[in-house]
Amino acid sequence: MKSTIFKFFSLFSVIRLYNILVVILAQYLTAIFILDDQKDLLVTILDPYLFVIILCSSISIASGYIINNFYDYEKDIINRPIRSNIDRSIRKRTKLNLYFSLNILCTILSLYISIRAVIFFLVYNIILWLYSHKLKKILILGNVLSSLLTITPFFAIFLYYKNFSDIILVYALFLFFIILAKDLVKDLENLKGDFTLNYKTIAVVYGEKFSKTAITSIIIINYIIVISLILYFDIGLMFYYYYLCLLVLSFVLFFTWISNDKRDYLIIHNIMRALIILGIFSIILI
């Protein structure tokens, strides 16, 4: 009984259930407050097509985490020994079976929406596999692709509502660069494991100082995006969040340059993660 419960929680760890729940919340809030403001709240929440799109997105993300965990097992033993011990209770064969099952389920469910949805999620799932298997080890491309794959589920919502207004694209750019900076910080945090297993990250190839310079450049780009959102777009009360972003990003920039160990980078990584989550909840202020 204890073993079954432990495996159940191990599965939650492998698929990063908490991250999936955050994405579900973000997709619904985006649909309700940004994309579909002409309908009432209940109509949007009960929209069966929207529900299936978000369900397919969640299944794809879960399968992506599973295959990524499968290929990153050796690296995680070095970088995250506690979590890897938890994840180890699920056999590799079980992970693969679950991965293929989830991909098949996603394809079947997406048929309910349209053939375009089937193609969208098929391509997304294939790229998730390619990223986990090969592309994440390629210098720069791995970081850029990781950030793009993180925001891709939102494009499924944009396609459904056929909404690609300027403000939507600027929001997407802001999220992309925040995630990209967070991933570069994560590479600094995981430097030991990446170096040991010959992952070609910026931190491994060019060193910590260059990585910090890259993070600084990305944060400066986000300064420009945030200031543009405040000055040129109607973002309602969400401007409070973006003012906070300027302060937090300034702190992150300062703390990044004075940091030199895994614990410091973990703190920065968690601060940026919290900033993203706060941004999701701030959507209701628009």
How big is the CA angle at 160 (ends 157 and 162), to the nearest 5 degrees?
A: 105
pLDDT for position 266: 92
The Cα 223–Cα 252 span in angstroms is 12
The Cα 203–Cα 206 span in angstroms is 6
Q: What is the DSSP letter of 259?
A: -
Q: Which range scores top for mean pLDDT: 13-22, 31-40, 88-97, 103-112? A: 103-112
Give 3-state DSSP helix, strand, coil % of the chain, rounded to 5: 85, 0, 15
How big is the CA angle at 57 (ends 68 and 147), to the nearest 5 degrees?
A: 55
pLDDT for position 5: 63
Q: pTM to 2 decimals?
A: 0.89
pLDDT tens digits, one per residue of 225-255: 999 999 998 888 999 999 999 999 999 999 9
Domain boundaries, the chain: 1-137, 165-286
Asked if pLDDT for residue 1 goes beyond 60, the answer is no
| Angle of helix 208-232 versus helix 239-258 axis, rounded to 10 | 170
Q: Is the distance from CB of 216 to CB of 256 less than 8 angstroms? A: yes
The Cα 76–Cα 95 span in angstroms is 16
Write the burial class of residue 42 (CB in 10 Å: 0-12 exposed, 13-18 middle, 19+ buried). exposed
pLDDT tens digits, one per residue of 167-216: 888 999 999 999 999 999 999 988 887 777 777 889 989 999 999 999 99
Low-confidence winner among 8-12, 93-97, 142-146 (lowest mean pLDDT): 8-12
pLDDT tens digits, one per residue of 26-68: 999 999 888 876 667 888 888 999 999 999 999 999 999 999 8
Domain covering 165-286, topology: Four Helix Bundle (Hemerythrin (Met), subunit A) (1.20.120)
